[in-house]
Amino acid sequence: MSGGADPTSGEALPALAFAFEARVTVGLPLDIGAVQGARRRIVPITGGTVAGKRLSGKVLPGGADWQVIRADGVTELVARYAIQADDGALIAVVNSGLRHAPPEIMRQLTEGRRADPALVYFRTVPVFLPPDGPHAWLGRSIFLGMGERLPDQVIIRVFEVL
C-alpha cells in the first residue's frame, strides 16, 4: 500500500508494505471471569507458521494472549510469544491491539465460531525483539497487524509502516 500526500500540508503520508503473515494456533480460552469491572481471559498460543519474503519460520508454543473484554464490548489484546525463523533465530514478540464488532458478531467470536472478518475491527501493533543479525530490521520499524480470528487460530497480516 502506498502513501500519498496530506492535502492540507503537502507532506508525505506513511505507506504500508506487507511484511509477513502469521497463522497462530490457539487453545481454548481460560476464562478468569470479572476482575476490576472487566472480563479477563487467557488464550494459550500452541504454535503456528510465519510466511513472507523477509521472514518465515514458526510460532513456538508456550505464549499466550491476555485479553480484557471491556463493558463497551471492545477486547484489549496483549499477546506474548516467540517466532523461530527458518535460520534458527529466536524473535520475541509483544503484540497489543483492539478487537470489536457488533454484539452478535463478538458473541460468535467469544463462542469460538467463525465470523466474517470484514465485520470485525481487529488491529494490532506488534513489537519485535530480534537478535542482532539478519532479522534486526524488525526492531527498527513500526508495524501494523490486521487480524482475523478463526475457531482454532488467529491470522495476522503484518505490515511495515514506511
Per-residue pLDDT tens for 41-59? 999 999 999 999 999 999 9
What are the tens digits of pLDDT across the range 103-119? 999 888 878 888 899 99
* All structural domains of the chain: 25-161 (2.40.160.20)
3 state SS for 24-79: EEECCCEEEEEECCEEEEEEEEEEEEEECCCCCEEECCCCEEEEEECCCCCEEEEE
